[in-house]
Amino acid sequence: MSITRGDIKQMMTSIEAPIVANQTLAAVSAVFSWGMKEEIVTANPCKLVARNPTRSRERVLSESELPTFWKAFDALDAVTVAALKTILLTGQRPGEVAHMRREHIKDGWWEMPGAPVPGIWPGTKNGKSHGVWLPTPAQAILVELAMGKAAGFVFSGSGGGPARGLDAAMRAICAKLGIERVTPHDLRRTHGTKITGLGFGRAAMNRVQNHHEGGIGDVYDRHDYSAETKQVMEAVAAKIMALIEGR
């Protein structure tokens, strides 16, 4: 039985989420491309099948939503609530926060190796080692989870691995609150928006969130921004907590 372009189009329409449909199309196309290379099939039916239009997400939590979500987090299990709050307070990538290791935290700094360590650390998204100051509220959260451990995953799941289900937890919260979808990455985006909103600038945001800017500046700028980074992280966390506490 051969698979036709019509079958692929029908598959696309049967998947409700546009982005998931696009990802499925890409995966299936990759399989057929490999099949053509190995001379198993003669054509790729995914060719010329249009992807679903998508728009860039720019969702950030408003100042009035911050206390609502913070309170909603407290209804979750201890590990999940701590992980989500840490994403919001540090602005780091959800996948990296989920894999946070105790041995990577030194004197208040979270030092992330750029390269992956199989079974322990996935590496950073851009492959560059990254250090970020953990602001006072985030450190307080980590102390509650420490339980005397000096190594291992900070946000350890039931099987001892990294935290799972952060996306599902956010979907459940949004459904309960009856509001527009918010993802763990939107918490990171909210933090980044607070950095620029407090006047620290886009360059500071890129440094904190480990965005790779490129260009000649990366070659010649060897300044140690640790003092500035610490100032930014504490100021943003203070602003977030003030909004949450109604101050």
User: SS3 for 247?
Assistant: coil
Residue 201 DSSP class: -
Average pLDDT over the chain reads 90
Query: How many residues are present in the chain?
Result: 247
Each residue of 164-220: pLDDT tens digit? 999 999 999 999 999 888 999 999 999 999 999 999 999 999 999 998 765 544 544
Assign domain 65-244 to its CATH superfamily.
Answer: Intergrase catalytic core (1.10.443.10)
Asked whether residue 151 carries a pLDDT value surpassing 50, the answer given is yes
Q: What is the rounded CA–CA span in Å between residue 31 and residue 42?
A: 12
Asked whether residue 21 carries a pLDDT value surpassing 80, the answer given is yes
Q: Render the burial of 13-33: b for 16+ CB within 10 Å, e for the rest.
A: eeeeeeeebbebbeebbeebe
Better-scored residue on pLDDT, 247 or 49: 49
User: SS3 for 157?
Assistant: coil
Q: What is the per-residue pLDDT for 213?
A: 64
Domain boundaries, the chain: 1-55, 65-244
Identity of the residue numbered 106? K
Q: What is the rounded CA–CA span in Å between residue 53 and residue 107?
A: 46
Average of pLDDT values for 45-50? 91
DSSP state letters, 28-44: HHHHHHHHHHTTS-S--
**Which phi and psi (to 5°) does residue 165 adopt?**
75, 20
Average of pLDDT values for 140-151? 80
